Amino acid sequence: MNSKGSNHVRSILAHLVLILLSFMCLFFFYILFVNATHSHADLQKGFWALPGKDLLKNLSGVANDGTFPMFQGIINSLIVSGSCAAICTYFSALTAYGLYAYDFKIRKVAFTFIMAILVMPTQVTAMGFLRLITKMGMYDSLLPLIIPSIASPAVFYFMYSYMQSSLPLSLVEAARIDGSGEFKTFNRIVLPIMKPAIAVQAIFTFVGSWNNYFVPALVIQSKNKMTVPILIATLRGADYMSFDMGKIYTMILVAIVPIILVYLLLSKYIIAGVTLGGVKG
């Protein structure tokens, strides 16, 4: 009885903690939604706990603002973030596979070099990167926001660690004996095993690219090529007389919808990966 009672108390405490953490996470999204449903005049009066009636008005105001291409900005962010997530996860997994499945002389040197790049902050190379893309004729385009995602040391290390725990080399050797080419082995055997890891890193890469402000602010000048973070900053930095908090909150609310959709689409692979790891353990 004591053991059952103790387990019951632990279960109650665990549920209470989870409820509290869930409330703390979702509370800010709720406040964002509430603020997006109120007008600028209402928001200036103070805190609102209940939704208002101005959501459609705010959304219409943002969508119909000729100086603020909201939908074009969302399309630009979707193109950049989606491309970055696809390119980053594929080539990082391919690089990790090369270092994991092949034994060559400079293997350790290559791994150390990639890890050294990991600790180098983006701001250090920003000016050199800007000068390079200007000389290459890619200034004020979306390509400089997409192409560098091919080389991502953090994603590579995650993929490499996942391969060490989930990809037996005997499986690769068996595919080679059967006459499978290296790219065919990688695409048809390794990638399906790597789905949970790819899903996790695709979410992180998508969100990181979607929220990235520093590099797009350096590269993009034309309004029709701006991404969502730059457009939000443009609204925030508007003249005081035309400043509208309701429109800003509405834009932020619209901006997080794609992130939520991407997580919902890929979450099943994350759960499958956790379940697979639990079964193996």
pLDDT of 242 reads 61
| Same domain? 11 vs 140 | no
CA-CA distance, 46 to 25, in Å (whole number)? 22
Model confidence over 192-220: pLDDT tens digits? 888 888 888 888 899 889 988 888 888 88
Whole-number pLDDT of residue 240: 53
Residue 224's pLDDT is what? 85
Model pLDDT, residue 52: 82
- Whether the CB-CB separation of 80 and 227 falls below 8 Å is answered with yes
Whether residue 83 sits in one domain with residue 13: no
Q: Are residues 30 and 164 in the same domain?
A: no
Residue 281's pLDDT is 41
SS3 180: coil
Kindly state whether residues 186 and 110 are assigned to the same domain: yes
Tokens 């390079």 map to which residue?
Answer: 132
Residue of 213, 258, 92 lying closest to 161 (CA atoms): 92
Q: Which are the contacts of 273, defined by CB distance < 8 A and separation ≥ 6? A: 195, 196, 197, 199, 200
CATH of the domain at 88: 1.10.3720.10
Give the span between the Cα atoms of 156 and 94, in whole angstroms. Answer: 9
Nearest-angstrom CA–CA distance, 163 and 179: 22
Which positions of the chain have pLDDT values less than 50? Answer: 1, 277-281
Number of domain units in the chain: 2
Alpha helices by DSSP H, listed for the chain, are: 2-36, 40-45, 55-63, 70-101, 107-118, 126-135, 143-146, 153-166, 169-177, 182-185, 191-193, 195-210, 214-219, 228-236, 245-280
| Tens of pLDDT, residues 269-279 | 766 655 554 43
What radius of gyration, in Å, describes the C-alpha atoms of the chain? 24
Same domain? 154 vs 272: yes
> Do residues 114 and 156 touch, judged by C-beta distance below 8 A?
yes
pLDDT at position 277 is 45
Which residues span the domain enclosing 111?
59-280
Distance CA 94, CA 125 (A): 25
Same domain membership, residue 104 and residue 36: no
Residues across the chain: 281
CB count, 10 Å around CB of 43? 20
pTM of the model: 0.80
